[in-house]
Amino acid sequence: MSGLVHLTRDGDIGIITINNPPVNALSIGVPEGMAAAIQTCCKDPSVKAMILIGGGTTFIAGADIKEFEKITSGEKPIGNALFQLFPLLENCSKPIIAAIHGTALGGGLETAMCCHYRVAAASARVGQPEVKLGLIPGAGGTQRLPRLIGLAKAAEICAGGELVSAAEAARIGILDQLIDGDLLQGAIAFARQVIAKGGVPCKTSDRPIPPYDPQAMSAVKHAVAKRSRGLLAPQKAIEAVEAASLPFEEGLQREAELFAECLFSEQSKALIHVFFGEREVSKIPGIGQEVSKLPIRVAAVVGAGTMGGGIAMSYANAGIPVLLKETGQEALERGLANLRKNYAATVQKGRMTQAEMEQRWELIQPTLNYDRFTEADIVVEAVFEGMELKKQVFAELEKVTRPDAILASNTSTLDIDAIATATSRPQQVIGHHFFSPANVMRLLEIVRGKETSPQVIATSMALAKTLKKVGVLVGNCHGFVGNRMFGPYQREAQFLVEEGASVQEVDAALVDFGMALGPFSVADLAGLDVAWRIRHEVQHQVPQGTRQPLVLDTLYERGRYGQKTGAGWYRYPDGSRMAIPDPDVQQWIEEKSHQSGIVRRDISKEEIVERVLYPLINEGAKILAEGIAARAVDIDMIYLYGYGFPAYRGGPMWYADTVGLHRVYERICQFEQQHGAEWSPAPLLKKLAESGKKFSDLDRDRSINRD
Ligand code: 3HC
Ligand code: NAI
């Protein structure tokens, strides 16, 4: 038996414990160890039943995701050991009871369904989250789950990937019993009842599928289609679940074919990159686990505008009391009214109870002064964007906060080091760049100043997790990582409409690519006044003769600031969010093109995508070379969680790898010849392309160097 699985006894019951921390994944050795333990128990006449339980904090979180790359690269075949274990489990002549705590996910739930009974702690959760990795359950999940709970419910769970609470799982028939108190003792008691009743194993695969409900199935299909635009796996999961109507072995065969299709898809590789990437970004080169973190018990936010309100909600949602300071009663009341409206909408959508809302509301403490700021472990400044005002606020904060308090700025463009000069404790100053709406968007760009202390960085990274954000550490430069890369993306979108594409063609090409919104819809949402102001602020740095977008000024001068004024690149009639193409805008664009001597032409969808995404990738390469982002994966996570980049493409740098850096580099060189120096390729991109390498190779080298 492997060291990963232990067999012990409680009288006539064999207890098989899996010990593969942290999550008891089914890594090499685990299925083999379970199989050996079962065989030992089967041979021993004194064993009447078995319990399968996880050691540590959880049951089994599924197959070992790290193994999938070995399969797709041809190093290893698909799940041999698992496929040998499952018939052994299910066909065992002695009853086996899965005892679940923590989570039973993917291959973990599939293992549990091969057992003859399932009991669980009330806090446990189960699920088939494979679709989040671009996969479907591949070890019988799509065939056994329908036999327990029916086709429609199984399709919902397999295609949606959401976890199910133990109470719900017991209600719908995945679990046989919930256990109060000690799980193992409860499972032993359950096993003894099974033995007392004759100990006959009950095979899931032998069960008839509960009656089919076509209406419920079509509702599931509709919901899945709506939620999973561009995704392959959810559709395949439904197809596999429907194959459960076939004889069991045939259904399994169909599941295996669909699983392999998904596993070898680019989508799955990208989503697995995202799974590990999301965890990788929290590991900061040079800042180890040993760096102590400051406790964050009370927070304060300065400015109750769009961002300050959302940031205060994020703290309250995490159960952290937060002071919210404004300059005057009217602004404070306006901010609070917005907060209240936001919470009420969440309650109305059924995502929060009224009682939860009241609890969170209580945690937000409005104020017009700094009286209680000594209580704050962290202050997040979210006043208007302007260096003088920011410095003034930080100078005030220095006086009213404790010396160990973290002083964070939510600035989206300003120099964190310059802001830090307003205090005598620059080591406590850091950027916490939330994205709008701050209570919803998961990205938190954490901007390290040149003097920010490792402890403040480590605390910020941990805090991001507490706030349920993905914290990504970046260096200090104009626009940091996300907005700096977004500049050339937006610029090229505007050039494309000047050259012949329409606003809606550009947006549609990017939405087809998978972006949540096209560049012009994003601009209208963020506010064209903001874009105009940022462009004019940095105008003096732009070399003479550089091509400038022609139409933004026209829209700005006409007061078309986007959704907030009912018109921008599109029209939004009667305050709606529905973007209507505007012939006036098309006319202004054509006039400007004509005046500038641009000959308009048809532009293909492919060119549109290349023209807007490649400068973004090129800027990303410059950012990497400068060390503003530590790894390509950090940039990928920023784009996924802050800019609506499709997860199934892995992020811009991963996407560039999949296109091939040589191809990206060549196109950038061509665009440089056609459109000028703005397109000059990043030296790092050139180097990688010429050496046949990828950004992910660079990440691998960097992480090896770190270790
Ligand atoms: N395989 C390999 N490593 C895994 C893993 C898995 N299935 N699940 C988690 N890990 C690793 C994480 O990468 C992380 O590693 P790190 O510490 O080096 O960064 C560590 O375990 C802890 O994970 P988390 O930080 O995510 O811990 P949490 O406590 O926040 O969450 C969890 C635990 C809910 C289990 C979460 O890790 C999770 O959702 N895991 C993935 C579950 C999943 O997708 N299972 C299906 C796998 S595919 C499958 O089973 C196919 C089958 O049908 C054949
Ligand atoms: P906003 O204009 O909605 O709110 C700013 C608030 O700060 C106003 O309510 C104002 O009364 C208040 N304020 C000004 N001086 C103050 C002081 N001394 N004390 C207390 N309150 C004061 O601005 P918004 O959009 O919330 O932006 C705030 C910051 O967040 C800016 O630095 C901006 O660049 C940044 N940011 C904005 C994003 C956005 O999408 N709006 C996204 C990310 C960052």
| 503 close to 569: Cβ distance less than 8 angstroms | yes
Parallel, antiparallel, or unpaired for β 5-10 and 13-18?
Answer: antiparallel
Distance 307 CA to ligand 2 centre (A): 6
Q: Is the dihedral of CA 26, 27, 30, 31 positive or negative?
A: positive
Please give all residues whose beta carbon lies within 6 A of any atom in ligand 1, as ranges.
Answer: 22-23, 25, 61-66, 103, 105-107, 110, 129-130, 133, 135, 137-139, 141, 279
Ligand 2: nearest atom to the Cα of 328: 11
pLDDT in tens, 97-127: 999 999 999 999 999 999 999 999 999 999 9
3-class DSSP assignment, residue 509:
helix
List beta partners, residue 406: 378
**Is CATH 3.90.226.10 the classification given to domain 5-264?**
yes
Beta-carbon neighbour count of residue 592 at 10 Å? Answer: 17
CB of 114 within 8 A of CB of 120?
Answer: no
Q: Which amino acid is at 684?
A: L
Token pair, residue 290, equals 């040993």
Q: May I ask the CATH architecture of the domain 299-479?
A: 3-Layer(aba) Sandwich (3.40)
Separation between Cα atoms, residue 556 and residue 529, nearest integer Å: 6
What 8-state DSSP symbol labels residue 646? -
Reference 6, options 20, 21, 19, 23; nearest CA is 19
Q: Please, where in the chain does CATH 3.40.50.720 lie?
A: 299-479
Q: What residue owns the CA closest to ligand 2's atom 12?
A: 303
Helix/strand number for the chain, H first, E second: 30, 19
What per-residue confidence (pLDDT) applies to 343?
95
CA-nearest of 171, 166, 48 to 112 is 166
Specify whether 130 is catalytic. Answer: yes
- The answer to whether residues 130 and 233 touch, using CB atoms and an 8 Å cutoff, is yes
Q: Edge-to-edge strand order for the sheet containing 429-434?
A: 364-367, 322-325, 299-302, 378-381, 406-409, 429-434, 443-448, 470-474
Catalytic site includes residue 110: yes
Q: Cα 411 from chain centroid?
A: 23
Q: Which H or E element spans position 121?
A: strand 117-121
Q: Is the CB of 324 under 6 A from ligand 2?
A: no
Q: Nearest Cα to 335, choosing from 404, 438, 422, 434?
A: 438
- Dist CA 473 CA 656 (whole Å): 22
Q: What is the pLDDT of residue 706?
A: 42
**CB < 8 Å & 24+ apart, contacts of 163-168:** 163/103, 163/105, 163/125, 163/126, 163/127, 163/129, 164/125, 164/126, 164/127, 165/125, 166/100, 166/120, 166/121, 166/122, 166/123, 166/124, 166/125, 166/126, 167/122
User: Residue ranges of the chain with pLDDT lower than 70?
Assistant: 1-2, 79, 703-707
Tokens of residue 440, six digits = 């919803």
Cβ–Cβ < 8 Å for 70, 36: no
Class of domain 483-627+631-706: mainly alpha
Residue 1: what pLDDT? 55
Catalytic residue among 32, 69, 90, 110: 110
Query: Of all protein residues, whose CA lies closest to atom 21 belonging to ligand 2?
Result: 303
Scanning 91-163, the segments in alpha helix (DSSP H) are 107-114, 141-149, 151-160
Pocket test for ligand 1, best of 24, 65, 144, 284 (most atoms within 8 A of CB): 65
Question: Is residue 98 a contact partner of residue 112, using CB atoms and an 8 Å limit?
Answer: yes
Decide: helix, strand or coil at residue 141.
helix
Q: Which atom of ligand 2 is nearest to the CA of 304?
A: 9
424 C-alpha to center of ligand 1: Å? Answer: 43
pLDDT for the residue numbered 209: 95
Q: Give the atom of ligand 1 at the shortest distance from the alpha carbon of 129.
A: 44
Give the residue from 679, 627, 685 showing the smallest Cα distance to 656: 685
What is the per-residue pLDDT for 705?
47
How many whole angstroms separate alpha carbon 427 and alpha carbon 684?
31
Residues 6 or more apart whose Cβ sits within 8 Å of residue 295: 377
- Predicted pLDDT of residue 531: 81
Q: Strands, E, within 228-290: which ranges?
A: none
CATH 3.90.226.10 domain span(s) along the chain: 5-264
Q: Read off the tokens for 471.
A: 């914290």
Atom 31 of ligand 2, residue of closest alpha carbon: 385
- Copy the structure tokens of residue 223: 């919901």
- pTM, two decimal places: 0.95
Torsion angle of C-alpha atoms 80, 82, 87, 92, degrees rounded to 10: 130
The predicted structure's pLDDT at residue 707: 40
| Residues 6 or more apart whose Cβ sits within 8 Å of residue 547 | 495, 675, 676, 678
β-sheet with 117-121: strand ranges across: 5-10, 13-18, 49-54, 96-100, 117-121, 177-179
Contact 333, 408 (CB under 8 A): no
Tell me the CA–centroid distance for residue 278 and ligand 1, in Å: 11
Query: How many other CB atoms are found less than 10 A from the CB of residue 701?
Result: 11
- CA-wise closest residue to 312 among 432, 457, 430: 432
CB 100 within 8 A of CB 51: no
- Measure CA 596 to chain center: 43
* Cα(109)–Cα(145) distance, integer angstroms: 9
Locate CATH 1.10.1040.50 in the chain: 483-627+631-706
Checking DSSP bridges between strand 5-10 and strand 364-367, what pairing results, if any? Answer: unpaired
pLDDT of res. 60? 98
DSSP annotation string for 462-475: HHHHHTT-EEEEE-
619 half-sphere exposure, CB direction, 13 A CA radius: 25
Strands (E), 344-469: 364-367, 378-381, 406-409, 429-434, 443-448
DSSP string covering 570-638: EE-GGG-S--EE-HHHHHHHHHHHHHTT-------HHHHHHHHHHHHHHHHHHHHHHTSSSSHHHHHHH
Whether a cis peptide bond, with omega within 30° of 0, leads into 45 is: no
* Nearest-atom index, ligand 2, CA of 383: 7
Cβ burial of 213 (10 Å; 0-12, 13-18, 19+) is middle
Give the model's pLDDT for residue 173.
Answer: 97
CA distance linking residue 437 with residue 282, whole number of Å:
22
Considering the candidates 32, 90, 130, 492, report the single residue annotated as catalytic.
Answer: 130
